[in-house]
Amino acid sequence: MKNVRRVFGGRGSTFFWIDDWLGGVPFWVQLSRLFDLAINKWATVHGMEHRGWVDGGGAWEWRRRLLAWEEETVSECASLLHNVVLQDHILDRWRWILDPINGYSIKETYTYLTTAGGHSERGMFDDLWKKQVLLKVYVFA
């Protein structure tokens, strides 16, 4: 959703495979084969980083030995994660872009959706209702 942004910290409430936290596509979609082979599909970003997500690190635990091309995919993923730095003093949270100071309100959302020209792109409106998000976020929206 273009009006909701996730602010990532290092406190461990963001899921490594499931959440869209790096690059715009969740790893379970982008690296579906590795996700299928992963032992801990609900690992947090903090947990993976803590155990070592560098190539050959302890974070990578698989149900079976990886094939050569799967190992190459892990190496590519590890190189993506090389420059990621988690900020332990920041909590993971959602931020409502329409009102980042006061946050989400039904009144502001209703005004946004019903005001003529309130949403300049049809795609923004569609994203609010058709975006694949976690169930609790979808219900909340």
**Same structural domain, 16 and 52:** yes
Judge whether 7 and 97 are in contact, CB under 8 Å: no
Q: Check residue 41 and give its pLDDT.
A: 92
Write the DSSP string, 9-22: -SSS-SBTTTS--S
Task: Tell if the pTM clears 0.75, that is, is over it.
Answer: no
Tally the domains of the chain: 2
Q: With respect to residue 92, please indicate whether it lies within any of the assigned structural domains.
A: no
Q: With respect to residue 32, please indicate whether it lies within any of the assigned structural domains.
A: yes
Question: Over the stretch 47-89, which tens digit does the pLDDT of each residue have?
Answer: 888 888 887 788 899 999 999 999 999 999 888 888 887 777 7
Distances (CA, A) of 131 to 25, 38, 43, 61, 135: 12, 25, 23, 30, 11
**Same structural domain, 123 and 60:** no
Q: With respect to residue 118, please indicate whether it lies within any of the assigned structural domains.
A: yes
**Same structural domain, 108 and 72:** no
**Same structural domain, 74 and 106:** no
Q: With respect to residue 89, please indicate whether it lies within any of the assigned structural domains.
A: no
**Same structural domain, 111 and 61:** no
Task: Say if residue 2's pLDDT is above 50.
Answer: no
Q: With respect to residue 19, please indicate whether it lies within any of the assigned structural domains.
A: yes
